[in-house]
Each structure stands twice: as C-alpha cells, then as structure tokens.
Structure 1
Amino acid sequence: MSSAESTSGRPRLSVVVPVHGVEAYLTTCLDSILAEPTDDVEVVAVDDASPDGCGAILDRYAAHEPRLRVVHLSANAGLGGARNAGLDRATGEYVWFVDGDDWLPPGALAAVRDRLAATRPDVLLIDHAEVFPGNRVVPRPSADALGGQPTPLRLADAPQLLRLAQSACTRIVRRGLLAETGLRFRGGWYEDVAYSHPLLMAADRIDVLERVCYHYRQQPQGRITVTRSDRHFEVFDQYAAVFAAVDAAAGRYDVFRPELFRLMVNHYLVIVGNDSRLPDTARRGFFRRAAEDCRRWLPPGGYPVPGGVAGLKHRLLQRDGYAAWAALRSVHRTLARVRRPGGPTTETAPLPQPVPLTGTETTALPTTPIH
C-alpha cells in the first residue's frame, strides 16, 4: 500500500488549516473536519502567530487527536504564507485548504474522499455556500459550468471553469501537481488569484463535484473586501503573476488569455467601484494603474467585451477615462439611493453575462462574487 493511501484504499487527504484571529470559530472548523473517524485524513493546522487563544485551542485538540498536527509560526506570515507552511508538512496525495473561520457541512468530507478515489483528478472543484450573520446560507453552485461535458477533463475543454470562485478552498489538488509546477501562494492580498488560475491551466484532469462541500463565513469585520486600505493595490502583482505563468508556457496557455483578461478587468472594476475597499484619495491612482494593465495584457486578438453598462465600464478603463467613469459611478449611486432610500450605496461593478471565447452567446453561469 502506498504511503499516500489509507487502509480503505482511498487516497490520503491532507487538510491544511491556516489560523489567525479566529478563536470564536476555530472549534467549529476543526470539529467539522474531524467528526468522521477515518485513517485517510490528516489535518495540518498552522497557528500563524495568532494573537488570541487559537494556539492553545489547537494544542488542546492535538493532545487528544492523533490526526491533527500543529505548526506554530513565530511571526505572522499571512494567509498565503501559512498555507505554504502547512503544505510543506502535508503528506497526503491530495491537499485541501480550509480557512480557520470556515467549516465543512455534514457529509462533505466523505463525498470528497469518495470522488477522489473514483476519478483520481489533478484538481477537484467543489461547490460552496456563503453563510451570512443570522445563519443565512446562500449556495454558490457550479451548475451549467460544464455544459453537460463528462469529467475529468482539461481546462481547454471547459475554459468557463475559470469563472468559478477564485478560491483555493474550493479546489482540492493533487499534491504532486503542486510539486511538479512549483506553484505556491504568493504574499499579499488576493493571493488566491495567482494560485487558482495557474492551477487549472496546469491540470490535465479536472473534476467537478456539484455538491456544496464548503461553508464560507461572511463576517461583517475582518475581510479584506470590507477593509479600506491601499493594500488593495496588491491585486496588480497577483495578476502579473498569472500572466507571467501564461507567458512562460510557450503558447500552451494562450487560448486562455481572453478569458483571463476579461476576469481581470471585472475584478479591477469591482475593487475600484466599491466604497468599502479603497480610500477615496486612492481611487484615481488605482484606476490609472488598472488601465496600464489593460494596455499591457490586452490579448492580440482582443477579447469578448460585455454589452451594456458593463461593457462601457470596460472601455472606459482601457482608455483611462477616469472622469467619465466617475460620472457614471455617481449616476449609479444616485439611482441606488432613489431605489433604496436610506440604504447603503456601496457599488460593486455588475458582472457581465459570461461570454465564451468565440464571442457567441451562451447560457450564463451562476454569478459568483469576486473577492
């Protein structure tokens, strides 16, 4: 029996849990992973120099749970660095990254293990649900993402998979693929961008499990999506890494340039248009920097520009038309106040209906927020 397999014959799964400042939620996370007694799952929890009681909670669990190994970092490495530290100590054939404030719904772990054993993919994509305060659960299914195509498959067979959530937590990956490609998490915010897209492009076998196997906690505080900071400029480095991976592939990934470019523009528009992310004094500079990326990475053959207001925003960004964009944003915010008197006016740039690489219309995928 391979060291990467259990006595059940299933591939061994390493669940890497980065932990920082989540004392109130950590036991829920750990219990959801360890609830099922099985020898084919190990948990590598990384205490990322957490300032609260997370380290003590992990040590208490590890004292009674041999499947849990704890890594204590002496200095905060950030989410990407903590995941890398856990990956270094993982021994399973597959790795699943689960954030310390999220959790797995009942039956999810068994479903994932069964699917990995049945199809042995390079990457298994799973559905997730967002859980808001008050326990309001909003599923984010991948329905229609495959268009009826059988799996496992390669990304070239279903490039629309790039439009699913940019989250490492919804991708269970063969650890050998990470070793073969040298793919690691980069430092900085939006670290999932430079991990998730190159991962799918590198995979020869992608499978999709259309079942909610991950609960993503939407906290009112602590998320970068509701944090005003100049650190949102770090998203530019993440997309630079994505296109560097495309450039380094000697043409093999060129087919994905139009879709990656469209996703990048969508993401930049979400960030620049949201009151909760950028300080007002930084908005013009972010817009200008995003316009530079548009000029730098515009695919030689163009890309499918969305229609309507979304398409207008794309064109304004590419032309660095900040004044016109700001006027359009002001009109949008005014209309929002009229429709919702006294309500919030935070704008998230509307995502266009997905368009295939050929430019013809297709069935829209479910909208997944870009974080």
Structure 2
Amino acid sequence: MPIKVSVVIPVYNPGKYIEDCIASLLRQSLPDDEYEAIFVNDGSTDETPGRLDRLAAEYPHMHVIHQEASGWSGKPRNAGIAAAKGEYIQFVDNDDWLGDEALERMYNYGVENGADVIVGKMAGKGRPVPLELFRKNRPHANVENAPLIDSLTPHKMFRKAFLDKHNLRYMEGRRRLEDHVFVTEAYLRAENVAVLSDYLCYYHVKREDASNAGFQRFDPVGYFKNLREALDVVEELTEPGPLRDRLFRRWLRNEMVERMRGQRLLKLPEDYRQELFDEIHKVVVERFGPGVAAGMQPTQQIVAGLIAANRLADVEEFAQWESGIKPSGVLENLGWDNGRLTIGFTAEYQSGGEPITFRAEGDKDLLAPPLPKTSLDAIALLGADTSAPLGKSKVDLVVRERATAAEFFQPVELTREKVAVAGREGYFRQVLRATAEVDPLSAANGAGLDAGIWDVLIRISSCGWTKETRLGSVRGEEAGRGRRAAVVGSPARLVLPYWTDPHGNLSLDVGQKTNRISYEFAGLTAADVTVTTDPGRIAVALPFHVQGESEAALKLTSASAGRSVDLTATLTARGADKAELSAGLPLGELADGQWRLELTVPSTGGGKPVALPLALDVSASGGAVVKPLAAAAADLAAKDPARRKPAARPAEPTLLRRAAGKLRRALKK
C-alpha cells in the first residue's frame, strides 16, 4: 500500500516524556502499512536512542534516524522530510501526542478538500493553544477568511509535493521561531488550508519539568532578529495594505504587547525587563505602520503606543492596574429542557475585588484606569484610542474535558447591561447576562461528549481582555434547585451536573466517571417507592431528567443469604426533573427476608450499579414493604440475635491504663 502519512518527530533527550508520543503513534486507526513514523534523534545523550532502535526493530512502520546534535528542531525536521515516503507529512514534537484517529481523519479531510495544509484541533495540556480557529470546521480556509495566523506551531499536516514544489524547509541551527517562518510561508503559498475542528487531533503538552524548548528564557536580541525573518516572509508574499497589517498584528500583539502586560511583565527581573522592552521598541518603530496597532483592542493600543513612545515606566504603571483584573461569574439558574442543560449566568470583570467601572462622555464609553495623571497624559499625547468598545463585549461558555483539556464552545444568548455606579455620576459597570445550552449529544462541535469529567467555565472578552474563570462557586438558589442528573440519547448516556470539592464549581460527569451519582439517591425515602403484590411490581421516584423512556436494571440482593435477583427495569419521564423507575417484582422467587436494592442506570461505556438507601422487606405471606436501610438492618438484628454486634468494651481511662501497664511490667521482672 502507498504510504498516506509520514509522521516526523525530532527527538532530543525527552526521557520518559516520549512514551506517550510513541503510544499514540502505535494506537493510530490508520492501518500500519498506510503510515510511518520517522524519529530523528538529534544527538540525544539519554537512553532514548536505544529505546528508538528497539521500537524500530519491533515495528516495521517505525523508523529512526540518528544524527549529531544540531541545537534546535529545524535540521531534524528537514531530515524527516527528506526521508518521508508519505503523501502527507505530519510534524509532532517528542513531548506531545496524537488522538487515536488523528492521522486517518486529517488525511481523509485533506484529500476530500484538496488541501495543501491540514490543521487539526489542538488541546493544550498546561500551555495555550488557539481557540477561535477551532470554533468550527473550515474546509476551505486561508489567511483572509480564517484566523490561521493565530496558529504558527509546526504541528500540522502538509502535502509533501507542496513542500517540494516551493522548497519549503525549516531554517536550521540554534534559533527561535523557525516554525513561524515555515508555517507562515506555507499558509501564504497554499492553494487551500483545511481546519478540522470536530475531533481532537493534537495534544500540546507542557512537561512537568518545564524544559520544553519554548519555555526557556530567551535572548531578546536573537529572538527578535528571528522574528523579523517571519515579517520578511509576509512582506515578500503580500502587498502593503489591510491584509499585511492584520498579519503583522499577530506578532505585535502576541510577541510584543502581551509580553508587556500585567503579571507577565511584572514578574520579570528589572534588568531583563528593560532589555526585552528595548528590543521590542526597536521592532515596533522599524517595521510597523499605524495601521497595525489601530486594529487592536484599546488596552492593547495603549500598551503599543507606550512602547512606540519608549515609555517603559508608564507601561509598568498600566501593567500594575491590569494585573488585578479578574473575570467573575454568577450562576443564576440551571436546569434540563428536552435533553439540553440550560445554564443562566451573569459575568463581568473585576479589579481589586470590585467591578471595573467605565466613564460615559457624551455618546462615548471610555476606559477609566486608576493611573497617575502623568501616565494618563502620556496616553493622551500618543493619541491612543481609550474608548471602551462595550458593544463588542462577549462571554463564551466552554466545556473542557479534564483529562485531555479538549475544549468546546457552547451556544450562548447574550444581553449587555449598563449598571450605574452609586455616588459616581457618569460612571457605570457592564454586566453580561447570558444563557447557554449544553446538548450532551452534540456539544463537541456536533459530536457527543465522551465519557469523562467536563469542567464548565466562562471566557469574557472585552476591551482587549480575554480571561476565563470557572462557573458555579457563586450561585443562586434556583441553580441549586435545578441541578439534576439526566439520562439522554439513544443509546442512553448518564450526565450528572455536580459541584466540585472544595470550590463548588460546576462540572459534568458523563458516563459515571465518579461515584457522585450515589449522592443523588441519598435523600430517597420509603415514600418514594410504591410496591404492589398483585401483580408484583416496584416503582421508585427518582430526581432525574429523562427523555421519554429508557431501559435500566434493578438488582435485589438477599441480606441474609447473599442470593441476588436481576430485574429489567424501565426509566420513564415524569416531568422535567423527575423520573419513575419501574420493574416487575417476582415475589415468588423472593424468600422471606430483606433484599437490598441496587440500580444500574444506562450510561456511556456501561453503567455501574449504585446502592439505594432502601431495603425491600418480604414476608412469608408474600407481602412486601420498603424500609430505610438503617431501619431494615435494625429489624434484621432483632430477628436474628447472632447478627447483633457485641457491646463495645468501655474504654479505660488513660491514666488507669498506663498504671496497669507499669504494674504488669514490674511483675514480669
């Protein structure tokens, strides 16, 4: 079979961190004879070379190239390109790993859409990844119609013939941002770029020892020299104008302005802070016209203007204020409606624990940072836009899978409200009021949520700030009343919203990944159960949301003999937040005595039995009643003296016990 995909992995002293990468490559759904992995060992001095040799000896589609250390990833990636036999080449770092179906899905998607480059959805494990780019599938993307420029890491799939046609190779040697140069040119030369967002393809991982190359402190002079090379590519392949300005804006925003904001700036040593600022100032003055900064958010424009004016002290003042800005949210209501979880909440930014305020001046809304007059005057002199574009403020609700960090945006309906500040004429807060819907069957960009723990968070974007926070620790009473487990879909899956410990945030347990479902039954009493004897039948009222009707199972276990009877049960909706579990009761098979009850709710990956705090007491005459478990145990002990626990021996007073011990030791002597 022709090789469809060659995976190129540059390797340098990864130690144990390469094992997840290897395992993910061996798990690929693409048949072994349709893909290959090429590990390029760039002079590793740990045990990795031997590990890779053993891997290649065991698996014919795993290959290893050994070369002398080159100092960075460019040369080993180029060696992998030269050796690749695949139609496409996927680059993977030795710290990262792929989703099990990543190669198959990305290849098929690329062929289907005639793509030169395929960008698969990424999850960041301890490190940031693009978010807006992966809101939806983009089968025909380019730098004008999609935010491709937000993703410049090399972890993508490229058509090999396309790379060869344009002689696209990585710059070699010990250098920074070689991936920016390579990927930017690929985007600008590609006839089509396809963005696959409905499957998590790539896991971008921050190592526990934080020794990934991208996390090392860098030399500002060398770094920004390399950055200029990426800008050179843009200048070569675009005309002056709005598109070039928008592409340049990515480097001004991410690599310069954002390094000069909030705690990211303030935590740097003062000498290094100055050195970094000086190099950024040079690039801003040399390379960027006024149209580049003009397209950024007001807060970013202020910082960019202060950088251009060479005013580090004012940048630091502004960073002090911004470092205290935090997002906040209140969970107002929660409830299920026709299989969808409705989440109502409010959100706003705070600074120093108080809501951020804005100032109205005529028909304009303005930022009102509490900065010294000298800083405000400097900002005014620069002509930086200090208006607050509050009409563009938005809040997203995101569900994030805890184990993989996969994120998916949920649909939100939003209203923006101005709230006057008491005692301060002309000042106001902006409160975002939102309602989101989470459909467990389509919440993952059209696919269902996989079994796992999904944390719920909100992400507020306003005035140049984009920050996220968990939702639920601050909530209204209505939210607590509306929290219910739900059984949705066919095949059915169990979804349980719950409050996390100890913070009380909202998370979703899909497929019984925790034992929290048992807490939902803790409040059941005998009054929630109806038992009939002619015919024998049991019905239990449960605090569940159910769509229509679903199968379940009920297990009865004899408290005395240990014998069990399995019953097929039906779970039926009885309103928006109640359900009835019903099953035939074969009283003839149940001996005189007590029977413990265990419920198994249908769930993704198979449900787990959960004990109910109730017992079925069957009499010799065939009658049956339900009792709380504690009362049933007491009745059983009264009937069977052998089951009574012996009385606890009174504890000896501590001093008396010590004295007795001393006397025994003395007698032994």
TM over 0.5: yes
Where 2:121 maps in the other structure, the secondary structure is strand
Q: Given the alignment, which residue of 209, 214, 222 partners 2:211?
A: 222
Shift of 1:159: 4.7
Change (3 A) 1:282 1:182: farther
Larger proportion of helix: 1
Change (3 A) 1:138 1:184: closer
Q: Given the alignment, which residue of 19, 25, 33 partners 2:25?
A: 33
Q: Is the 8 A contact 2:11 2:42 kept in 1?
A: yes
Shift of 1:232: 4.6
Structure 1 counterpart of 2:203, one-letter code: H
Specify the alignment match of 2:117 in structure 1: 123
Q: Given the alignment, which residue of 220, 236, 247 partners 1:260?
A: 247
CA displacement, residues 210-241 of structure 1 (integer Å, 9 cap, x when unaligned): 121001112241134543x3435433133211
Shift of 1:141: 6.4
Pair 1:59 & 2:53 matched? yes
Partners of 1:253 and 1:34 lie apart in 2 by: 47
Specify the alignment match of 1:81 in structure 2: 75
Change (3 A) 1:279 1:178: farther
Shift of 1:118: 1.8
Q: Given the alignment, which residue of 152, 168, 174 partners 1:166?
A: 152
Alpha-carbon RMSD across the aligned residues, in angstroms, is 3.3
Partners of 1:258 and 1:153 lie apart in 2 by: 19
Structure 1 counterpart of 2:154, one-letter code: A
Partners of 2:267 and 2:72 lie apart in 1 by: 19
Shift of 1:308: 3.3
Structure 2 counterpart of 1:14, one-letter code: S
Specify the alignment match of 2:304 in structure 1: 314
Q: Is the 8 A contact 2:8 2:91 kept in 1?
A: yes
How many pairs were matched up? 330
CA displacement, residues 333-367 of structure 1 (integer Å, 9 cap, x when unaligned): 4678966xxxxxxxxxxxxxxxxxxxx97989989
Specify the alignment match of 1:351 in structure 2: none
Shift of 1:191: 2.7
Pair 1:15 & 2:7 matched? yes
Partners of 2:129 and 2:272 lie apart in 1 by: 32
Where 2:98 maps in the other structure, the secondary structure is coil
Q: Given the alignment, which residue of 115, 130, 133 partners 1:142?
A: 133
Shift of 1:129: 0.5
Partners of 2:290 and 2:136 lie apart in 1 by: 27
Q: Is the 8 A contact 2:132 2:147 kept in 1?
A: no
Q: Is the 8 A contact 2:260 2:315 kept in 1?
A: no
Q: Given the alignment, which residue of 79, 86, 95 partners 1:92?
A: 86
Q: Is the 8 A contact 2:8 2:81 kept in 1?
A: yes
CA displacement, residues 244-270 of structure 1 (integer Å, 9 cap, x when unaligned): 223333x45865321222111112233
Partners of 1:322 and 1:19 lie apart in 2 by: 40
Q: Is the 8 A contact 2:52 2:64 kept in 1?
A: yes
Specify the alignment match of 2:595 in structure 1: none
Change (3 A) 1:234 1:93: farther
Partners of 1:318 and 1:21 lie apart in 2 by: 41
Pair 1:239 & 2:227 matched? yes
Specify the alignment match of 1:195 in structure 2: 182
Structure 2 counterpart of 1:155, one-letter code: V
Larger proportion of strand: 2
Partners of 2:61 and 2:290 lie apart in 1 by: 51
Q: Is the 8 A contact 1:194 1:242 kept in 2?
A: yes
Larger deviation, residues 213-222 vs 275-284: 275-284
Q: Is the 8 A contact 2:170 2:179 kept in 1?
A: yes
Structure 2 counterpart of 1:180, one-letter code: K
Change (3 A) 1:209 1:334: closer
Shift of 1:64: 1.2
Which structure has more RCO (C-alpha within 8 Å, separation ≥ 6)?
1
Shift of 1:24: 0.6
TM-score (norm 1): 0.77
Specify the alignment match of 1:207 in structure 2: 194
Where 1:128 maps in the other structure, the secondary structure is strand
Where 2:152 maps in the other structure, the secondary structure is coil
Change (3 A) 1:145 1:235: farther
CA displacement, residues 29-83 of structure 1 (integer Å, 9 cap, x when unaligned): 1221122433221111011111211111110000011112211112243122221
Partners of 1:271 and 1:113 lie apart in 2 by: 36
Change (3 A) 1:253 1:364: farther
Q: Given the alignment, which residue of 248, 253, 257 partners 1:269?
A: 257
Specify the alignment match of 2:316 in structure 1: 326
CA displacement, residues 93-136 of structure 1 (integer Å, 9 cap, x when unaligned): 21110011111122222211221332231111111001249xxx
When Rg is computed on C-alpha atoms for both structures, the one with the higher figure is: 2
Which stretches in structure 1 are left out of the alignment for 5+ residues? 1-5, 340-359
Q: Is the 8 A contact 1:17 1:97 kept in 2?
A: yes
Partners of 1:364 and 1:159 lie apart in 2 by: 20
Structure 2 counterpart of 1:291, one-letter code: H
Change (3 A) 1:203 1:30: same
Q: Is the 8 A contact 2:39 2:64 kept in 1?
A: yes
Pair 1:185 & 2:170 matched? yes
**Within 5 A, what are the aligned runs for 1:340-359?**
none
Shift of 1:301: 4.8
Specify the alignment match of 2:571 in structure 1: none
Partners of 2:46 and 2:170 lie apart in 1 by: 25
Change (3 A) 1:57 1:333: same
Change (3 A) 1:363 1:258: farther
Structure 2 counterpart of 1:176, one-letter code: A
Change (3 A) 1:67 1:225: closer
Partners of 1:335 and 1:154 lie apart in 2 by: 34
Shift of 1:321: 1.8
TM-score (norm 2): 0.45
Partners of 1:318 and 1:45 lie apart in 2 by: 44
Partners of 2:92 and 2:290 lie apart in 1 by: 38
Give aligned-pair identity as a percent: 23
Structure 2 counterpart of 1:68, one-letter code: M
Change (3 A) 1:224 1:315: farther
Partners of 2:252 and 2:132 lie apart in 1 by: 23
Where 2:317 maps in the other structure, the secondary structure is helix
Partners of 2:153 and 2:65 lie apart in 1 by: 23
Partners of 2:102 and 2:65 lie apart in 1 by: 25
Partners of 1:40 and 1:253 lie apart in 2 by: 44
Specify the alignment match of 1:342 in structure 2: none
